[in-house]
Structure 1
């Protein structure tokens, strides 16, 4: 069989759709411009990240979600290859009329192995674990004889997907984690093992839903970073956020941290990956229907990556990818165009006295930008934050709001003047103590903006009204000092030629 696979790979171009390598393009939250990024499957090849993903073409084809590929060394310059593993349109009962999430591993045979979900809504079971192999991570040959369905006790055959495969050095075997359901009609993660990446043995339930719901735990990953093992998954309902658990052994037991997630539901299906030094979580931020801020979210959008830092106790927290912020060093002037409400300003510093509403309006945002600042609060009254799509009345329709009373940072899709009485669209818990001192970083690329707060949480958002419109700072009843406000753009690499 190995000789047959190698022979097939040499002829892969005759039946596997690939594109010639494209020129690098600059982005920090990429999509293709004509399609959208769904579930990601990052793989580090020793030199760069190959981020496979479900490409959402929204073209009305009877099949959907081929595996496509974004390649990057620094999460700022990307190369794109479309449809590296296509869905099957040869017959209506093909097991992979649509493709689902999976993973890539390099085998001891020297080949790259992709394990993915095949889906066909016309058949039962609808979901199948499937296998493909490659020599270069771009041209792939499917190995249909290696496909398999769920076995007992996974009686809910409509849910058997998202295989995450890796070689467990401590056990001397390959592991496959699978999103499925148990006899108790609740989400579980099953574990299969193999010595050769062809024959898989069911080892039973690896992890059961511990969130108090019956939700599926989608897109699991398990890896060791430092002395700890990390298990991640996304709850399909009701919160739709990426959770993590910590253990000192690959078999567990896995402990739920006090704060077991990194971002709100504006970031989904994040999967862990590491290079030679750092740990990352790569997922996507959704678009919205009809490209309007007031409409519901879609499935798929733009790739978003967080870097994860490790505390001494093994817990993790998100920060901007250091390779990204290292590239964003080109200064961009921030010169206010309007101020109101008695704001005291001095160069890059602003003091809001907390007496009613006050704001500072900045020129329009365009391109890829990094905004950083430092703030200090007096007391826990009022709210303050960043506003976008600012109009003539000096309020914005989109707002990132720091709320000391609620101990949260939230995204409000409503006018700044009505934030105090509105329900946020997204929110994350953040410790905001009186007289506390905090830093923030906001990364913006087109209509995606991701806020990082003082080594605590991230908040990923979609804002169609953000680009090419004024933005600003505001305070509503809160005394706060904002210092060292700076803006910068990408420099070097493909960015200089864009």
Structure 2
């Protein structure tokens, strides 16, 4: 059972759709049992509720899947909005069985509720894509109210028909009544991706943001930013929130902060070298807006109050080896869920340094988060004699001789490292050889300023 990264006990979850209402985050999600023989075909929406991203209340099924004759055999991603005295869900109805009968694979569908708990489908409001668009890629509606134009706007995943590789774009539809929608053209078309999924749109400070997940040669949640509601959209140099193991993230705000809700995928066979799968565990990052408007991620503030100190490394320490590697064993956590806080500095010219985790004291096999300062990269990978696992990576910008603050969370086989309240990198580690946490350097010098191991409060 996971303590930090929520997952239903009998299935995997994905594509969290967050909605904040009266002090509570309502997290709708797609539930997949990965067992059609036992649980039936298709995917429904379920919901879990939380106020602190640590305590979760299972609210059960929200939108049931249809049958093979229905458009919504699979209830795919969408959004939630409070409007006209009710709550509305707009979701993707997906089925592979209607195309041969003249139907479409994907359409936008509508459901209504008075209380966020009981939902009534409105199939008469179904929106199908125009003929010039690819009906296999018409999904993930995000609906909001445009105060300036006094109408509702729906952003959807779309693709032009044809064989063009990078034909994905974000389409815009408008409505006055949330029932009848008209095509309002292209919202954003960068000609960069096969498809970009799960659009999310919001204003933070003086900037507007469009968040999306690249469904192309890479899998990553990215964003663009604009000084006005409709662009022009600027692509920041570092436009990702995390790495390959954090996907389909959408945001919600409680009025004080804005949070990014994504999922950490499992691997086939629960093996380090297994293929990444659809679905896994919830991971929540808190968004941080920099002075230039760019966005970063940090550990949600509410998750700072659930810990107690288990051990501290006594004093400072210096690691230096210009010809090879040097390591310092720090802790050996005995619990399944823990946190490690590190503060350190590295010397100019240092080739690589980082943190070992799940390491065996004798063989030194395990995993590592490794910084490559000259390449501007943070990597996660398994340490083994021979491994086909390519690992995970993301861009980081860190400066020599300046304080570097790291927060590592581990919950069973799931982990995430936060760097300077700006960068995050999620990972899986299914086959740890030991329990050791260590600091290492290779080709340079690192000074450890403080290290603390924390465990969950009873």
Please say whether Structure 1 and Structure 2 have the same fold, judged by a TM-score greater than 0.5. Answer: yes
TM-score, reference length from structure 1: 0.85
Match of 2:320 in 1: 353
Please tell me whether residue 230 in structure 1 is matched to residue 209 in structure 2: yes
Mapped to 2, the partners of 1:283 and 1:227 lie a distance apart of 25
Please tell me whether residue 190 in structure 1 is matched to residue 171 in structure 2: yes
Match of 2:35 in 1: 59
Conserved? CA contact 1:410–1:424, under 8 Å: no
Mapped to 2, the partners of 1:350 and 1:172 lie a distance apart of 61
Please tell me whether residue 207 in structure 1 is matched to residue 188 in structure 2: yes
Mapped to 1, the partners of 2:73 and 2:430 lie a distance apart of 33
Structure 1 vs Structure 2 CA RMSD: 2.1
Matching residue within 482, 485, 490 for 2:451:
485
Other structure's SS at 1:354 match: strand
**CA deviation profile, 1:213-244 (whole Å, cap 9, x unmatched):** x4201000111122221101011011211111
Match of 1:37 in 2: 13
Match of 2:396 in 1: 430
- Structure 1 stretches of 4+ with a deviation exceeding 6 A read none
Please tell me whether residue 151 in structure 1 is matched to residue 130 in structure 2: yes
Please tell me whether residue 382 in structure 1 is matched to residue 351 in structure 2: yes
Matching residue within 170, 181, 206 for 2:148:
170
**CA deviation profile, 1:55-101 (whole Å, cap 9, x unmatched):** 12112244222111111111111111232111013xx2211111110
CA displacement at 1:382 relative to structure 2: 3.2
Please tell me whether residue 363 in structure 1 is matched to residue 332 in structure 2: yes
Match of 2:442 in 1: 476
Mapped to 1, the partners of 2:455 and 2:114 lie a distance apart of 37
Gaps of 5+ in 2: none
Other structure's SS at 1:290 match: helix
Match of 1:119 in 2: 94
C-alpha spacing 1:365/1:448, structure 2 compared with 1 (3 Å): farther
Mapped to 1, the partners of 2:312 and 2:432 lie a distance apart of 16
1:96-495 correspondence runs (5 A)? 96-108=72-84, 110-124=85-99, 125-154=104-133, 156-183=134-161, 185=164, 186-211=167-192, 214-325=193-304, 327-334=305-312, 347-355=314-322, 356-361=324-329, 362-415=331-384, 424-466=390-432, 469-491=435-457
CA displacement at 1:468 relative to structure 2: 7.3
Conserved? CA contact 1:354–1:382, under 8 Å: no
Mapped to 1, the partners of 2:386 and 2:343 lie a distance apart of 25
CA displacement at 1:478 relative to structure 2: 2.8
Other structure's SS at 1:351 match: strand
Instruction: Compare 50-59 and 461-470 and name the one that shifted more.
Output: 461-470
- Higher normalized strand content (fraction of residues): 2
CA displacement at 1:266 relative to structure 2: 0.9
TM-score, reference length from structure 2: 0.92
Aligned residues: 447
Conserved? CA contact 1:117–1:161, under 8 Å: yes
Conserved? CA contact 1:366–1:467, under 8 Å: no
Mapped to 2, the partners of 1:76 and 1:468 lie a distance apart of 27
C-alpha spacing 1:291/1:106, structure 2 compared with 1 (3 Å): same
Gaps of 5+ in 1: 1-24, 336-346
Conserved? CA contact 2:358–2:435, under 8 Å: yes
